[in-house]
Amino acid sequence: MSERFWRILGSAWFLAAAAALFAAFVPLVLVPYARKAAGYTPAGGGFDTSFFYGPRQALDKAAAFDAPGRFSYISDRWTMDLAWPLVYGALFASAAAFALRRADSSPGAFALALRALVLAGPLLDYGENIAATVLVASVPARPLGWALAASALTPAKWIAIAAAGAGILGLYLALAVRTLSGRRP
């Protein structure tokens, strides 16, 4: 993506807007959705709330939903869960771009890796959602390829999100240390 795009993401107004959107989305959309999902998700049936599961476990998770639960799961993935990765992804990308601008960091290896991670999390989330909805929609069939995809994408998503979060926090800590030590941020 262009440097101009990352400059816009790194602007104070974009970061404020992304943070406000995130702060509103969590209590107004995500929390009610989680309550609703708890009602139709069988014990151990959540795909994206697990860190790791194997392909056979993915098939078992899909089969554990009853028919109304399958419909609700698929509906949620193609409504609320289309917006959620954009919401947290915008916040992560903006927070990273904002801090990288303040660090006067040219797009070196760290900046490029951090940019890739903040974009990878939401993209892997979408991939996981696609694989999981195909599995749930396929019941009673047991498509092993989609089960392999879901079981690989879930930990990849969580690793990318955690690594991006750690990189962003580390960058802000480095900026704080530099500021507190009296060097120009």
| In a domain? residue 48 | no
Q: How far apart are CA 78 and CA 164, in angstroms?
A: 25
| In a domain? residue 47 | no
- Cα-based distances in Å from 114 to 27, 76, 142: 28, 29, 37
pLDDT digits (tens, 9 = 90+) for 112-138: 999 999 999 999 999 999 999 999 999
pLDDT digits (tens, 9 = 90+) for 137-168: 999 999 999 999 999 999 999 999 999 999 99
| In a domain? residue 136 | yes
Q: Residue 184: is its pLDDT beyond 60?
A: no
Q: How far apart are CA 118 and CA 89, in angstroms?
A: 6
Range of the domain at 32: 3-39+65-179
Mean residue pLDDT across the chain:
92
| In a domain? residue 123 | yes
**What total of structural domains would you count in the chain?**
1
pLDDT digits (tens, 9 = 90+) for 78-99: 999 999 999 999 999 999 999 9
Q: How far apart are CA 176 and CA 12, in angstroms?
A: 17
| In a domain? residue 169 | yes
Q: How far apart are CA 22 and CA 30, in angstroms?
A: 10
| In a domain? residue 51 | no
pTM of the complete model? 0.90
| In a domain? residue 56 | no
Q: Alpha carbon 149 to chain centroid distance?
A: 17
What per-residue confidence (pLDDT) applies to 105? 60
| Helical segments of 53-143, H only | 55-64, 67-77, 80-102, 109-138
| In a domain? residue 147 | yes
Q: Which position has the token pair 């303040």?
A: 102
